[in-house]
Amino acid sequence: MPHSPAPDDAAAARRVELERFLIHMIAVVEAGRTNGLDPKLKAQGLTTPAIRALAWIQASPGTTMTDLAAGVFIDRTTLTRTIDNLVKDGFVVRGGGHSDRRKVTLTITPSGSALCALGHDIIDQHNQAIAGLVDLDALTVVNRALLQLHKAFVADERIRNVHTGRAQSPQP
Protein backbone atom coordinates (compact mmCIF):
# COMPACT_ATOMS: atom_id res chain seq x y z
CA MET A 1 0.00 0.00 0.00
CA PRO A 2 1.50 3.38 -1.00
CA HIS A 3 2.57 5.70 1.77
CA SER A 4 0.49 8.90 2.02
CA PRO A 5 2.57 12.02 2.51
CA ALA A 6 2.30 13.70 5.87
CA PRO A 7 -0.06 16.70 5.89
CA ASP A 8 2.90 19.09 6.15
CA ASP A 9 4.64 17.37 3.22
CA ALA A 10 1.47 17.52 1.14
CA ALA A 11 0.98 21.20 1.94
CA ALA A 12 4.61 21.97 1.07
CA ALA A 13 4.31 20.08 -2.22
CA ARG A 14 1.06 21.90 -3.03
CA ARG A 15 2.72 25.25 -2.27
CA VAL A 16 5.62 24.48 -4.63
CA GLU A 17 3.14 23.49 -7.35
CA LEU A 18 1.08 26.66 -6.84
CA GLU A 19 4.17 28.89 -6.78
CA ARG A 20 5.39 27.45 -10.09
CA PHE A 21 1.99 27.77 -11.67
CA LEU A 22 1.36 31.28 -10.31
CA ILE A 23 4.59 32.72 -11.67
CA HIS A 24 4.02 30.96 -15.00
CA MET A 25 0.45 32.28 -15.22
CA ILE A 26 1.56 35.82 -14.37
CA ALA A 27 4.00 35.63 -17.29
CA VAL A 28 1.36 34.14 -19.63
CA VAL A 29 -1.28 36.73 -18.73
CA GLU A 30 1.21 39.60 -19.04
CA ALA A 31 2.39 38.32 -22.44
CA GLY A 32 -1.21 38.07 -23.64
CA ARG A 33 -2.00 41.53 -22.31
CA THR A 34 1.09 43.03 -23.91
CA ASN A 35 0.44 41.32 -27.25
CA GLY A 36 -3.02 42.86 -27.31
CA LEU A 37 -1.94 46.24 -25.94
CA ASP A 38 1.17 46.94 -27.98
CA PRO A 39 -0.64 47.35 -31.34
CA LYS A 40 -3.12 49.76 -29.71
CA LEU A 41 -0.27 51.84 -28.29
CA LYS A 42 1.75 51.63 -31.50
CA ALA A 43 -1.20 53.00 -33.49
CA GLN A 44 -0.77 56.19 -31.42
CA GLY A 45 3.04 56.20 -31.72
CA LEU A 46 3.52 54.82 -28.19
CA THR A 47 5.30 51.90 -26.57
CA THR A 48 4.82 50.23 -23.22
CA PRO A 49 8.31 51.27 -22.00
CA ALA A 50 7.62 54.89 -23.01
CA ILE A 51 4.34 55.03 -21.09
CA ARG A 52 5.90 53.40 -18.02
CA ALA A 53 8.80 55.85 -18.11
CA LEU A 54 6.54 58.88 -18.67
CA ALA A 55 4.25 57.84 -15.82
CA TRP A 56 7.19 57.43 -13.42
CA ILE A 57 8.74 60.77 -14.43
CA GLN A 58 5.38 62.50 -14.12
CA ALA A 59 4.89 61.08 -10.62
CA SER A 60 8.51 61.84 -9.61
CA PRO A 61 9.67 65.04 -11.33
CA GLY A 62 13.44 65.36 -11.27
CA THR A 63 13.97 61.61 -11.00
CA THR A 64 17.31 60.16 -12.04
CA MET A 65 17.89 57.35 -14.52
CA THR A 66 18.95 55.11 -11.64
CA ASP A 67 15.70 55.70 -9.76
CA LEU A 68 13.70 55.36 -12.97
CA ALA A 69 15.36 52.02 -13.81
CA ALA A 70 14.67 50.72 -10.32
CA GLY A 71 11.04 51.79 -10.50
CA VAL A 72 9.83 50.77 -13.93
CA PHE A 73 11.42 47.33 -14.36
CA ILE A 74 12.72 48.00 -17.87
CA ASP A 75 16.22 46.83 -18.82
CA ARG A 76 18.76 49.66 -18.97
CA THR A 77 19.40 49.42 -22.73
CA THR A 78 15.70 49.70 -23.58
CA LEU A 79 15.22 52.41 -20.97
CA THR A 80 18.11 54.51 -22.25
CA ARG A 81 16.85 54.25 -25.85
CA THR A 82 13.32 55.07 -24.69
CA ILE A 83 14.44 58.16 -22.76
CA ASP A 84 16.65 59.29 -25.66
CA ASN A 85 13.60 59.14 -27.95
CA LEU A 86 11.32 60.89 -25.44
CA VAL A 87 13.88 63.69 -25.08
CA LYS A 88 14.37 63.96 -28.86
CA ASP A 89 10.59 64.17 -29.38
CA GLY A 90 10.19 66.84 -26.68
CA PHE A 91 8.24 64.75 -24.15
CA VAL A 92 10.99 64.69 -21.48
CA VAL A 93 13.75 67.15 -20.58
CA ARG A 94 17.12 66.16 -19.16
CA GLY A 95 18.60 68.50 -16.60
CA GLY A 96 21.23 68.90 -13.93
CA GLY A 97 20.45 70.37 -10.59
CA HIS A 98 22.63 68.14 -8.46
CA SER A 99 25.99 68.95 -6.95
CA ASP A 100 27.17 65.75 -8.66
CA ARG A 101 27.14 66.74 -12.34
CA ARG A 102 27.09 63.08 -13.37
CA LYS A 103 23.50 62.85 -12.06
CA VAL A 104 21.03 63.78 -14.73
CA THR A 105 17.44 64.47 -13.78
CA LEU A 106 14.38 63.88 -15.93
CA THR A 107 11.26 66.04 -16.09
CA ILE A 108 8.14 65.54 -18.18
CA THR A 109 7.00 68.33 -20.52
CA PRO A 110 3.37 69.38 -21.02
CA SER A 111 3.27 67.43 -24.30
CA GLY A 112 4.75 64.44 -22.43
CA SER A 113 1.96 64.71 -19.85
CA ALA A 114 -0.64 64.73 -22.64
CA LEU A 115 0.99 61.69 -24.25
CA CYS A 116 1.07 59.93 -20.88
CA ALA A 117 -2.65 60.61 -20.38
CA LEU A 118 -3.43 59.22 -23.85
CA GLY A 119 -1.38 56.12 -23.09
CA HIS A 120 -3.12 55.63 -19.76
CA ASP A 121 -6.54 55.91 -21.46
CA ILE A 122 -5.56 53.17 -23.93
CA ILE A 123 -4.12 50.98 -21.17
CA ASP A 124 -7.13 51.52 -18.88
CA GLN A 125 -9.58 50.49 -21.61
CA HIS A 126 -7.50 47.42 -22.44
CA ASN A 127 -7.08 46.42 -18.78
CA GLN A 128 -10.80 46.88 -18.06
CA ALA A 129 -11.67 44.58 -20.94
CA ILE A 130 -9.32 41.92 -19.55
CA ALA A 131 -10.36 42.37 -15.90
CA GLY A 132 -14.00 42.23 -16.95
CA LEU A 133 -13.49 38.55 -17.75
CA VAL A 134 -13.06 37.80 -14.03
CA ASP A 135 -15.61 38.20 -11.23
CA LEU A 136 -14.96 40.83 -8.55
CA ASP A 137 -14.19 38.36 -5.74
CA ALA A 138 -11.52 36.59 -7.77
CA LEU A 139 -10.13 39.92 -8.92
CA THR A 140 -9.88 41.07 -5.29
CA VAL A 141 -7.98 37.93 -4.22
CA VAL A 142 -5.57 38.12 -7.16
CA ASN A 143 -5.00 41.84 -6.59
CA ARG A 144 -4.23 41.25 -2.91
CA ALA A 145 -1.71 38.51 -3.75
CA LEU A 146 -0.01 40.58 -6.45
CA LEU A 147 0.24 43.58 -4.11
CA GLN A 148 1.97 41.36 -1.56
CA LEU A 149 4.40 40.14 -4.22
CA HIS A 150 5.06 43.71 -5.37
CA LYS A 151 5.70 44.86 -1.82
CA ALA A 152 8.18 41.98 -1.40
CA PHE A 153 10.01 42.98 -4.60
CA VAL A 154 10.26 46.60 -3.56
CA ALA A 155 11.34 45.74 -0.01
CA ASP A 156 13.92 43.10 -0.94
CA GLU A 157 17.20 44.83 -1.75
CA ARG A 158 18.58 41.64 -3.35
CA ILE A 159 15.75 41.60 -5.89
CA ARG A 160 16.06 45.35 -6.57
CA ASN A 161 19.81 45.05 -7.07
CA VAL A 162 19.51 42.14 -9.49
CA HIS A 163 16.88 44.07 -11.45
CA THR A 164 18.89 47.28 -11.61
CA GLY A 165 22.16 45.52 -12.44
CA ARG A 166 23.76 46.47 -9.13
CA ALA A 167 23.97 42.92 -7.78
CA GLN A 168 27.14 42.12 -5.90
CA SER A 169 29.09 39.03 -6.85
CA PRO A 170 28.84 36.40 -4.14
CA GLN A 171 31.80 36.54 -1.79
CA PRO A 172 33.86 33.31 -1.64
Q: Tens digits of per-residue pLDDT, 80-116?
A: 999 999 999 999 999 875 555 567 899 999 999 999 9
Q: Which residues of 141-161 are buried (b: 16+ CB within 10 A; e: fewer)?
A: ebeeeeeeeeeeeeeeeeebe
Mean pLDDT, residues 160-170 taken together = 44
Rounded Cα–Cα distance for residues 32 and 142 (Å): 17
> Alpha carbon 93 to chain centroid distance?
22
Sequence-ordered list of residues with C-beta below 8 angstroms from that of 74, at least 6 positions apart, any chain: 49, 52, 53, 82
**Residue boundaries of the structural domains of the chain:** 48-133
Is the pLDDT reported for residue 118 higher than 90? yes
Sequence-ordered list of residues with C-beta below 8 angstroms from that of 10, at least 6 positions apart, any chain: 4
Q: Which CATH class is domain 48-133?
A: mainly alpha
**Structure confidence at residue 157 (pLDDT):** 60
